Amino acid sequence: MTREVKGAQRLVVANALASEAGLVPGQSLADARAIYPDLLTEPQNAVRDGLLLSALRRWADQFSPKVEVTPPDALILDVSGMAHLYRGEAAMMDAICDSLTDLHMTVRCALADTPMAARAWARFRPANHPYSAILPAGQAIAACDALPVEALETDATEALHLLGLRTIGALRGKPSAELARRFGLHLTDAIDRLIGRRPEPMRAETPTRPFATRMTLPDPIGLIDDVLSILERIATPLMARLEKDGLGALGFTLAVTCPDKGSQSLHVGFSRPMRETRALIRQMRPKIDTLNLPFGADRFRLEATGVQPIQTRQIHLGSEAVIEDAMERLVTIVGNRLGFDRIRRPAPSPSHRAELECNSEEIADNDTAHVWPAPRPYRPLQIFEPEYLHVLDEGRPPARFEWRRQAYRTRRVQGPERVAPQWWADHPGRLSDYYTVTTEEGPTLWLRRLPMAADQEWSVAGLYA
């Protein structure tokens, strides 16, 4: 397996045959093929490896409640006080390794006083060392002295090799102040964490329970009605589980696996958390109709995404509740057809400038209701980018002017209202005076004047109803 490092392809993992041929991880791909011309490689898939580690983290919960994922290829288990459950540390290590072997994985395990020592001993343990995978208590420091400096996981490895410092024991014989001055504090910090001089707290994450159900059939099915029937059968227990925990989901993903085409994923979303089987089937039906199943499908998996607490409420109580439910259903239907990222709604903005008082946001960005401020007086129904007008008769505002090829005569004026720039913003705007002008021709316009401009230009910034 290869990965690009500093513009060059390098080996990340080498199997047993490659190792016997003299290939080691970290070696450039060009050097590896010079040693073994028939080498077959595959680019590393970081996303796939991350998902595998996440799955193994949930699997390791059977051995320890505290499991830390260490990318790209390690798990650290805190097994303090666990050995007696397996009648000894050796039996516990054998149980862990045997379980991973049953999953067809090649693993290297180690048990040590500190997390870093265990990680280093598992990766770089010498084959002929008297200690096995288990380092006796208090012996981690002496044992790790024989490990290469690569076990410290620092960027100073190449510089250390140039100076002839190739083992951790050689580094520990040097003054820490000298090492920190030449190679940085990260090197001495790694040594301190290795020998336990500095604690290394575990970043154990609480594994999340996936809300999913699945069904495997003995023979593939190819009819849309049969797929809908399967969906209903696996959705019913999933919705019951969500209801039991007081939860709802903003989305559902149906994975349909075909013997000939692999897995196909169908996803639907909702405007609010829900757990109704009928609503799911209603939104999923148009997507299922697009499935191409020439040889049928035999495996189905339904997973709830965006799970969050849901509060029960009375569905209908007056016209407002009916309108709200209808709007949520409309957003759900349009969002599944066009994409929820294409649906936007108005939202208030904490600004005193009229053109910035309202903006828009994606419907899925925030599910809480906005508190709109009290409306300001003399605000037009339509606010647009100011359009310059042609002054026919001078005045403040102009007695006669031309806008959009139409001449207007001022009849009544309200204002001015002065709006200052937002000095704290990247684009503060300009000092402006606004006038509400009712014209003889009928329209009521919102005129803007820039008092700080050289010609004190006038423009139309809004139109009243």
Helix residue ranges, H only, 40-175: 46-59, 89-102, 115-124, 140-144, 157-162, 168-172
With a cut of 80, say whether residue 365 has pLDDT above it.
no
Distance separating alpha carbons of residues 293 and 256, to the nearest angstrom: 10
Q: How far apart are CA 443 and CA 463, in angstroms?
A: 8
438 Cα distance to chain centroid: 53
Please check the confidence at residue 376 and state whether its pLDDT lies above 70. Answer: no
pLDDT at site 317: 55
> Average pLDDT, whole number, for the chain?
83
pLDDT at residue 237 in the model = 94
Using 50, 70 and 90 to split pLDDT, how confident is the model at 239?
very high
User: Where does residue 272 rank: exposed (0-12), middle (13-18), buried (19+ CB within 10 A)?
Assistant: middle
Q: Give the C-alpha distances (Å, rounded to integers) separating 411 from 229, 377, 380, 440.
A: 70, 20, 17, 5
Quick one: CA torsion of 241, 243, 245, 250, rounded to 10 degrees? Answer: 90
Burial call 191-230: b when 16+ CB within 10 Å, e when fewer: bbbbbbeeebeeebeeeeeebbbeeeeeebbeeeeebeeb
Q: Tell me, what's the pLDDT at 292?
A: 83
Q: Can you tell me the distance from the alpha carbon of 307 to that of 284, in angstroms, rounded to the nearest whole number?
A: 18
Percent of the chain with pLDDT over 90: 13
Q: Which residues, 6 or more positions from 423, have their beta carbon under 8 angstroms from its beta carbon?
A: none
pLDDT at 399 over 60: yes
The 10s digit of each residue's pLDDT in 256-311 is 998 877 788 899 888 788 888 988 988 888 888 888 888 889 999 999 988 888 76
Distance CA 231, CA 280 (A): 9
Mean pLDDT value across residues 192-200: 86
Q: Got the DSSP string for 259-303?
A: TTTEEEEEEEEEEEEE--HHHHHHHHHHHHTT---TT-EEEEEEE
| pLDDT confidence of residue 215 | 92
Token pair for residue 452?
């700080």
- Whole-number pLDDT of residue 366: 53
CATH superfamily for domain 212-336: DNA polymerase, Y-family, little finger domain (3.30.1490.100)
pLDDT for the residue 315: 55
Longest dimension (CA), the chain: 102
Give the model's confidence band at 232: pLDDT under 50 very low, under 70 low, under 90 confident, else very high.
very high
CA atoms within 13 A on the CB side of 157: 10
Among candidate residues 245, 295, 249, the one with its CA nearest the CA of residue 269 = 249
What pLDDT, on a 0 to 100 scale, did the predictor assign at position 371?
Answer: 66
User: Taking the CA atoms of the chain, what radius of gyration do you get in angstroms?
Assistant: 34
- Give residue-wise pLDDT tens across range 241-267: 998 988 888 889 999 998 877 788 899
Give me the pLDDT at residue 444, please: 92
pLDDT in tens, 117-166: 898 888 888 877 777 788 888 887 888 888 888 888 888 888 888 888 88
- Residues 75, 69: Cα–Cα separation, whole Å: 5
**Euclidean distance between the first and final Cα of the chain, in Å?**
67
Element (H, E) at 4: strand 2-5
pLDDT at 408 over 90: yes
**Cα–Cα distance measured from residue 410 to residue 235, given in angstroms and rounded to the nearest whole number:** 66
Token output for 375 = 């409306």
Whether residue 397 is preceded by a cis peptide bond, meaning omega within 30 degrees of 0, is yes
Kindly tell me if the per-residue pLDDT of 346 is higher than 80: no
Q: Is the pLDDT of residue 394 over 60?
A: yes
C-alpha dihedral, 50 to 53 to 58 to 59, nearest 10°: 150
Average pLDDT over residues 103-113: 88
Arithmetic mean of pLDDT, 394-411:
90
pLDDT value at position 338?
67
Where in the chain do CATH 3.30.1490.100 domains reside?
212-336
Confidence (pLDDT) at 144: 87
pLDDT above 80 for 427: no
Q: What pLDDT score does 379 carry?
A: 77
pLDDT at 294: 84
Q: Which residue has the tokens 């209701």?
A: 369
In the beta sheet, which residues pair with residue 221?
297
Count Cβ neighbours within 10 Å for each residue of 8-22 and write b for 16 or more, e otherwise. eebbbbbeeebeeee
